[in-house]
C-alpha cells in the first residue's frame, strides 16, 4: 500500500492577526514537508512593509485570517527537496511577495510572474495553486518555498538590511529600470518611507538626478546622505510652482490618496508618473494635467524573479541596502503604528531570534 503523503508537517511559530485590524499575537501553525523542488528556509529577518498593514487592516478588501504577514524574508536554507538544484543547505536566500505562479502564461514565461494572468500566489493572504491552501508569510521562523521562487542573497549583503530589498527594493528598481532612469534624467520620488528611500538610492546609483517630494523638510538631511540632489516639502504650495514641467519620471510611493493632477503637472513633455503606492481609496486625475504635455500615468507592481535577482546583484555591486531599525517581534504592533505615523527610518525589520523570547 502506498504510504499516505503527509502534508503540513513542519511546526512553525510566528505572529498573526486573528481578524481584521487585530493586534498581531503569537501563533503556531504547520507548513508542508518539502516537495521535490522545495527548500525549507530558517527565517532570520523579515521587513515590515506598509502593504502588511493595509492587509491586516483589510483596507484592500478580501483579506483572510488568521494572517501571518511578511514578504520581505531573508534566511538560511536548512533542508532541500530531492530534486532541488539551485540551492543547498546553508545558502543565504530571500523570498519576496509571491511564492508561485501558473508558470505557463506569457508574463510567467518572460519572468514577469508578478503579472501572471492567473494571478501569482502571494506569500501570505493568498492561496496555493491547489486553490484552497492558505499561504502564510515571514513573521515566522520557517517557510517552505519552491526553489524557482527563491532569491539568492549575495554574500556581501547583510541579511537584516537585505530583507526589505525583496519588496521595497524591487518595487522601485523595476519601474526605474523600465522607464530608464539614468544620466540626464530628472527623477522625483514622492514619499520618503521604506519604498521611497530605496528609490533614492537606486536612482542615484543609476546616475539620475534625484528629487524627493516629502510632506515636510524633516528628513532632508537623510535624503541627501542617501544620494538625493534636491528635496522639497509638498506642504509648501511654492514647490508646485517651482517644479512645474520639470521631471521626466515621478514615482509615487505614498500610502494615502494624493491629488494626482498636482503632481502630473510637475512632469515635462512626455514625462511619466508611475504609481506604486496603494492607498485604500481610489484616486482621480484631471485630463488636462495629462494632455497638456503628452504625459503618461502608469503603474507598477514589485518585480519578477529574474529582475529581483538582478536587483540584488545591482545592490551588492553598488553597496546598497536598506536603512533599518531592527526590532524584536514583540514590538511589531508598536512598529505598525509608527509606520502609519510616518515615523520610520526607513524600514522596520523583525529579528526572528526574538520569537524564542517570551
Q: Which residues bind Zn ion (CB under 5 A)?
A: 49, 51, 101-102, 105, 108, 116, 167
Residue whose CB is nearest to ligand NAP in the complex, by number: 193
Task: Please report how the helices 305-317 and 194-205 are oriented relative to each other, as an axis angle in degrees rounded to 10.
Answer: 70
Query: In whole angstroms, what is the distance from residue 165 CA to residue 173 CA?
Result: 9
Which of ligand NAP, Zn ion, none has residue 193 at its interface (CB below 5 to 8 Å by kind)?
A: ligand NAP
Of 243 and 332, the one with the shorter C-beta distance to Zn ion is 332
CA distances from 262 to 87, 247, 279 (A): 48, 13, 17
- Could you tell me the smallest distance in angstroms from the CB atom of residue 4 to ligand NAP? 40
Of 69 and 196, the one with the shorter C-beta distance to ligand NAP is 196
Query: Does 70 participate in binding ligand NAP (rule CB under 6 A)?
Result: no
| Residue 85 buriedness (CB in 10 A; 0-12 / 13-18 / 19+) | exposed
Which of Zn ion, ligand NAP, none has residue 342 at its interface (CB below 5 to 8 Å by kind)?
A: ligand NAP
- Could you tell me the smallest distance in angstroms from the CB atom of residue 40 to ligand NAP? 26
Which of ligand NAP, Zn ion, none has residue 121 at its interface (CB below 5 to 8 Å by kind)?
A: none
- Could you tell me the smallest distance in angstroms from the CB atom of residue 49 to ligand NAP? 5
Query: In whole angstroms, what is the distance from residue 232 CA to residue 27 CA?
Result: 43
Query: In whole angstroms, what is the distance from residue 79 CA to residue 87 CA?
Result: 10
Q: Looking at the DSSP assignment, which residues form a beta bridge with residue 123?
A: none
Query: Does 302 participate in binding ligand NAP (rule CB under 6 A)?
Result: yes
**Backbone φ, ψ for residue 296 (5° rounding):** -120, 145
Of 102 and 217, the one with the shorter C-beta distance to Zn ion is 102
Which of Zn ion, ligand NAP, none has residue 102 at its interface (CB below 5 to 8 Å by kind)?
A: Zn ion
Q: Which of 95, 145, 157, 167 lies at the binding interface for ligand NAP (CB under 6 A)?
A: 167
Q: Which of 31, 50, 142, 204 lies at the binding interface for ligand NAP (CB under 6 A)?
A: 50
Between vectors from CA 62 to CA 60 and to CA 63, what angle results, nearest 5°? Answer: 85
Query: Does 276 participate in binding ligand NAP (rule CB under 6 A)?
Result: yes
CA distances from 157 to 75, 152, 154, 312, 314 (A): 12, 11, 6, 9, 11
CA dihedral 289, 291, 295, 300 (to 10 degrees): 80
C-alpha cell at 330: 514583540
* Contact positions with ligand NAP (CB under 6 A) in 81-140: none
Q: Which of 68, 80, 150, 339 lies at the binding interface for ligand NAP (CB under 6 A)?
A: 339
b/e code 260-280 from CB counts within 10 Å (16+ = b): beebbbbbeeebbbbbbbebe
Query: Does 253 participate in binding ligand NAP (rule CB under 6 A)?
Result: yes
Query: Does 252 participate in binding ligand NAP (rule CB under 6 A)?
Result: no
- Say if residues 62 and 32 touch (Cβ distance below 8 Å): no
Which of Zn ion, ligand NAP, none has residue 271 at its interface (CB below 5 to 8 Å by kind)?
A: none
C-alpha cell at 301: 507592481
Give the interface segment with ligand NAP, choosing from 50-58, 72-80, 84-92, 115-123 (CB under 6 A): 50-58
Which of ligand NAP, Zn ion, none has residue 339 at its interface (CB below 5 to 8 Å by kind)?
A: ligand NAP
Query: In whole angstroms, what is the distance from residue 86 CA to residue 151 CA?
Result: 10
Query: In whole angstroms, what is the distance from residue 113 CA to residue 118 CA?
Result: 10
- Could you tell me the smallest distance in angstroms from the CB atom of residue 348 to ligand NAP? 9
Of 54 and 129, the one with the shorter C-beta distance to ligand NAP is 54
Number of H helices and E strands in the chain, helices first, is 11, 17
Query: Does 63 participate in binding ligand NAP (rule CB under 6 A)?
Result: no
HSE value, Cβ hemisphere, 13 Å, CA-based, for 196: 29
Which of Zn ion, ligand NAP, none has residue 105 at its interface (CB below 5 to 8 Å by kind)?
A: Zn ion
Binding site for ligand NAP (CB under 6 A): 49-51, 54, 167, 171, 191-196, 214-215, 253-256, 276-279, 301-302, 339, 342, 344
Amino acid at each position: 500500500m502506498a504510504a499516505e503523503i503527509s502534508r503540513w508537517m513542519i511546526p512553525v511559530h510566528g505572529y498573526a492577526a486573528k481578524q481584521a485590524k487585530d493586534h498581531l499575537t503569537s501563533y503556531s501553525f504547520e507548513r508542508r514537508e518539502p516537495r521535490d523542488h522545495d527548500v525549507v528556509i530558517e527565517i532570520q529577518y523579515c521587513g515590515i512593509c506598509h502593504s502588511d498593514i493595509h492587509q491586516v487592516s483589510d483596507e484592500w478588501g478580501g483579506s483572510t485570517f488568521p494572517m501571518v504577514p511578511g514578504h520581505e524574508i531573508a534566511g538560511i536554507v536548512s533542508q532541500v527537496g530531492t530534486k532541488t538544484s539551485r540551492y543547498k543547505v546553508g545558502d543565504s536566500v530571500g523570498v519576496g511577495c509571491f511564492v508561485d505562479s501558473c508558470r505557463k502564461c506569457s508574463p510567467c514565461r518572460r519572468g514577469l510572474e508578478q503579472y501572471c494572468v492567473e494571478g501569482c500566489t502571494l506569500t501570505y493572504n493568498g492561496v496555493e495553486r491547489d486553490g484552497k491552501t492558505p499561504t502564510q508569510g515571514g513573521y515566522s521562523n520557517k517557510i517552505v518555498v519552491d526553489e524557482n521562487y527563491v532569491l539568492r542573497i549575495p554574500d556581501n549583503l547583510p541579511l537584516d538590511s537585505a530583507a526589505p530589498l525583496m519588496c521595497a527594493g524591487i518595487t522601485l528598481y523595476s519601474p526605474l529600470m523600465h522607464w530608464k532612469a539614468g544620466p540626464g534624467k530628472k527623477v522625483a520620488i514622492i514619499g520618503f518611507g521604506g519604498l521611497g528611500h530605496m528609490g533614492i538610492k537606486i536612482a542615484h546609483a543609476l546616475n539620475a538626478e534625484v528629487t524627493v517630494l516629502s510632506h515636510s523638510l524633516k528628513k532632508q538631511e537623510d535624503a541627501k546622505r542617501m544620494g538625493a540632489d534636491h528635496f522639497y516639502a509638498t506642504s509648501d504650495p511654492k514647490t508646485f510652482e517651482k517644479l512645474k514641467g520639470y521631471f521626466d519620471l515621478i514615482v509615487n510611493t505614498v500610502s494615502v490618496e494624493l491629488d494626482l493632477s498636482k503632481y502630473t503637472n510637475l512632469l515635462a513633455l512626455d514625462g511619466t508618473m508611475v504609481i506604486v503606492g496603494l492607498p485604500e481609496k481610489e484616486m482621480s486625475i484631471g485630463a488636462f494635467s495629462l494632455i497638456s504635455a503628452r504625459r503618461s500615468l502608469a503603474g507598477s507592481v514589485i518585480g519578477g524573479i529574474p529582475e529581483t535577482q538582478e536587483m540584488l546583484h545591482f545592490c551588492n555591486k553598488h553597496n546598497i541596502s536598506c536603512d533599518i531599525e531592527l526590532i524584536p517581534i514583540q514590538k511589531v504592533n508598536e512598529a505598525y503604528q509608527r509606520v502609519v505615523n510616518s515615523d520610520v527610518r526607513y524600514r522596520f525589520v523583525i529579528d526572528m531570534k526574538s520569537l524564542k523570547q517570551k
